[in-house]
């Protein structure tokens, strides 16, 4: 990995880590309104599913970049 691409990978990892931490903080901060939405039923379930998908994407991107920065890759199997 080149020096500039390594620095870019670290920046992307830090960005997604910061966004992920911010989302967890917001989830904690707005816990009661979110729980109240879940009790209302109906279309409010879409909000809960959207929150879950956003967490899935951001946290997944962070973990992917994190392992790449550390240099760990999955072992490829040749067929």
Name the token pair of 19: 């966004």
Q: Position of tokens 């691409």?
A: 5
With 0.85 as the threshold, say if the pTM is over it.
no
CB-CB contact of 13 with 69 (8 Å) = yes
Q: What is the pLDDT of residue 1?
A: 55
Q: Position of tokens 């992920």?
A: 20
What percent of the chain shows pLDDT beyond 70?
A: 96
Q: What is the pLDDT of residue 8?
A: 92
- Read off the pLDDT band of 48 (50, 70, 90): confident
Name the token pair of 27: 């989830």
The average pLDDT across 1-21 equals 88
């Amino acid at each position: 990995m080149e020096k500039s691409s390594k620095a870019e990978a670290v920046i992307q990892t830090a960005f997604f880590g910061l966004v992920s931490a911010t989302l967890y903080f917001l989830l904690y901060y707005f816990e009661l309104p979110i729980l109240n939405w879940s009790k209302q039923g109906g279309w409010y379930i879409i909000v809960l599913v959207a929150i879950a998908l956003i967490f899935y994407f951001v946290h997944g991107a962070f973990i992917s970049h994190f392992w790449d920065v550390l240099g760990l890759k999955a072992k490829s199997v040749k067929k």
